[in-house]
């Protein structure tokens, strides 16, 4: 029986002191003022190269990051394996806009794809397209391609080459690869390349996965286009669903630049869109594969129920549930305990490089209604349960 309130299963891998530390951390993160100040202070510290490891490593980093290197992550891969959960190692260094930084990220992402080939506990490889080019090139290629200078056109071609190389390496290694979704101003170019990569590499099975942010009201139409194209040209789409991480910025930018808001009118509309997308892929699961990334309990219950209602095999590799390391263990471990496929995103990178990711997590835990309250409630319940043992 699937019960996300079973804290004994949810926290089986955590010692008493780890539970206590997580409780303290979520307690701090629930205060928006503290998180805002932390973001402000860390941006200043970054710009003046002030060392941050001493404060970030034992707190946010320890909770949400697997380590600095692929090798460091093996302890989490083993821990997750003991709980029947697979890993998706995510090189999370962001905002490197120099040619050397981009090249280093590209090389590390290739290493992560090779690492995945050698480890059956790794469910997917993953990359964030903006980390292998500059923001200027990606936004111009998406929104105003005619504005690209000759030099930028060359950079765009290099980006395309890196993008396809990552997908080809995944294909050669027979490992599925998720293309993360990003800001609206980058996404058209990412979609175009993802469609091309799916046509090229998904001819026998889904290797390349497009990410659809269902807070966008145009994503069902895009899903339908992918499906029609797949039937016409003969490939197997991989679809990753998320709600979307950049809502506030998107609304602000649309307002400032005077284009229509790309986001659904309210949370309910996003939830309905999300459910519709997931159901669509489950209805076409003979042709498509599904990856659902969410910490929303209802969405996870709904998909689990749908799988059972349709008599699909809970362990079939065509459907995966996913949460981020350090969040919603009650969902991940209880789903896995009941035989569903689960993978945790395990981010890795040096402290300074992973800071934007960590600040997003801290903000998300402040702003996502109920998320921090739920983590705190679960941690407290487990600490109480252990006291009574
Ligand atoms: C494994 C995994 C991979 C991820 N990969 C990506 C990725 O590639 N790209 C990406 O952008 N994000 C990604 N995310 C983050 C994701 O998009 C969400 O920001 C995050 O998971 C919170 O949404 P939820 O479904 O978990 O929870 P919920 O609490 O159910 O949903 C919160 C989300 O609902 C939407 N929302 C909230 N209020 C409103 C409103 N008023 N109107 C309209 N919509 C609203 C927003 O998207 C908000 O983030 C990933 C998350 C996970 C777990």
Q: Is residue 184 part of a domain?
A: yes
Q: Is residue 15 part of a domain?
A: no
Task: Please give the distance, rounded to the nearest whole angstrom, from the Cα atom of residue 30 to the centre of ligand 1.
Answer: 18
User: What local confidence, expressed as pLDDT, does residue 96 receive?
Assistant: 75
Greatest CA separation found in the chain? Answer: 69
User: What local confidence, expressed as pLDDT, does residue 373 receive?
Assistant: 84
Kindly state if the Cβ of 293 falls inside 6 Å of ligand 1: yes
For residue 160, what is the enclosing H or E element?
helix 150-173
Q: Is residue 222 part of a domain?
A: yes
- Taking 50 as the pLDDT cut, the residues of the chain under it are none
Kindly state if the Cβ of 173 falls inside 6 Å of ligand 1: no
Specify the CATH number for the domain of residue 294.
Answer: 3.20.20.220
Task: Please give the distance, rounded to the nearest whole angstrom, from the Cα atom of residue 19 to the centre of ligand 1.
Answer: 25
Kindly state if the Cβ of 181 falls inside 6 Å of ligand 1: yes
User: What local confidence, expressed as pLDDT, does residue 337 receive?
Assistant: 97
Instruction: Report the number of distinct structural domains present in the chain.
Output: 1
**Helix count (H) and strand count (E) of the chain?**
17, 8
> Read out DSSP for 220-249?
HHHHHHHHHHHHHHT---EEEEE--S-HHH
Both structure tokens of 307: 């799988």
Q: Is residue 97 part of a domain?
A: yes
Which structural domain, as residue segments, surrounds residue 257?
67-348
Q: Is residue 166 part of a domain?
A: yes
Radius of gyration of the chain (CA): 20
**Span 25-60, pLDDT tens digits:** 888 777 777 667 666 666 665 665 666 666 677 778
Q: Is residue 344 part of a domain?
A: yes
Q: Is residue 56 part of a domain?
A: no
Q: Which atom of ligand 1 is nearest to the CA of 274?
A: 25
User: What local confidence, expressed as pLDDT, does residue 44 receive?
Assistant: 62
Q: Which atom of ligand 1 is nearest to the CA of 264?
A: 43
Kindly state if the Cβ of 245 falls inside 6 Å of ligand 1: yes
User: What local confidence, expressed as pLDDT, does residue 28 receive?
Assistant: 78
Kindly state if the Cβ of 215 falls inside 6 Å of ligand 1: yes
Q: Is residue 126 part of a domain?
A: yes
Placement of tokens 């170019």 in the chain: 189
User: What local confidence, expressed as pLDDT, does residue 188 receive?
Assistant: 97
Query: What torsion do the CA atoms of 80, 332, 108, 237 make, to the nearest 10 degrees?
Result: 130
What global pTM score does this model have? 0.94
């Amino acid at each position: 029986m699937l019960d996300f309130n079973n804290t004994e299963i949810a926290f089986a891998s955590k010692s008493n002191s780890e539970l206590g530390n997580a409780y303290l951390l979520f307690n701090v993160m629930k205060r928006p003022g503290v998180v805002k100040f932390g973001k402000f202070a860390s941006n200043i510290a970054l710009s003046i190269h002030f060392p941050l490891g001493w404060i970030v490593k034992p707190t946010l980093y320890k909770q949400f990051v697997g380590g600095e290197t692929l090798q460091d992550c093996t302890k989490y891969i083993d821990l997750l394996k003991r709980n029947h959960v697979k890993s998706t190692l995510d090189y999370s260094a962001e905002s490197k806009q120099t040619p050397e930084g981009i090249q280093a990220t590209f090389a590390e992402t290739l290493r992560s794809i090779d690492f995945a080939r050698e480890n059956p506990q790794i469910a997917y490889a993953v990359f964030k397209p903006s980390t292998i080019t500059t923001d200027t090139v990606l936004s111009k290629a998406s929104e105003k391609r005619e504005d690209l200078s000759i030099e930028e056109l060359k950079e765009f071609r290099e980006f395309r080459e890196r993008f396809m190389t990552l997908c080809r390496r995944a294909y050669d290694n027979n490992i599925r690869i998720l293309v993360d979704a990003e800001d609206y101003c980058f996404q058209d170019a990412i979609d175009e390349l993802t469609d091309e990569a799916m046509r090229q590499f998904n001819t026998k099975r889904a290797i390349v996965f497009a990410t659809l942010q269902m807070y966008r009201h145009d994503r069902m139409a895009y899903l339908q286009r992918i499906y029609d194209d797949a039937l016409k040209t003969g490939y197997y789409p991989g679809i990753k669903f998320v709600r979307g991480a950049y809502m506030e910025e998107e609304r602000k930018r649309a307002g400032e630049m005077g284009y229509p808001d790309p986001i659904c009118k309210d949370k309910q509309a996003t939830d309905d869109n999300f459910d519709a997308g997931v159901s669509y892929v489950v209805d076409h699961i003979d042709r498509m594969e599904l990856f659902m990334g969410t910490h929303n309990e209802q969405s996870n219950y709904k998909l689990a129920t749908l799988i059972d209602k349709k008599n699909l095999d809970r362990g079939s590799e065509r459907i995966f549930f996913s949460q981020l390391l350090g969040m919603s263990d009650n969902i991940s471990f209880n789903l896995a305990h009941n035989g569903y496929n689960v993978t945790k995103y395990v981010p890795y990178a040096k402290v300074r490089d992973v800071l934007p990711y960590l600040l997003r997590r801290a903000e998300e835990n402040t702003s996502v209604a109920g998320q921090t309250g739920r983590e705190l409630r679960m941690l407290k319940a487990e600490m109480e349960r252990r006291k009574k043992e």
